[in-house]
Amino acid sequence: MGNIGWTGIIIIAILVVILFGKGKISSIMGDLAKGIKSFKKGLSDDGSSKNDDNNNNSDSSNSDNK
């Protein structure tokens, strides 16, 4: 009963286009892409700041040992 075939997916896609229209769907997809891009940028910025902090800490500990 829970299996959806290709015909079911096509019918659902047609209903979504009828309900929301092509313009609304494209704007939603654009907003989704912007959100994903900013999320990935935030992750990479967070990772690089952690690496910078680790490098700064190791540099200061090396200068203390000298």
DSSP notation for the chain = -----HHHHHHHHHHHHHHHHHHHHHHHHHHHHHHHHHHHHHHHHHHHHHHHHHHHHHHHHHHHH-
- The predicted-structure confidence for 26-50, as pLDDT tens digits, reads as follows 898 899 999 999 999 999 887 776 6
The pTM of the full predicted model, rounded to 2 decimals, is 0.47
- Residue 53 confidence (pLDDT): 59
The residue that leads in pLDDT, 28 or 55, is 28
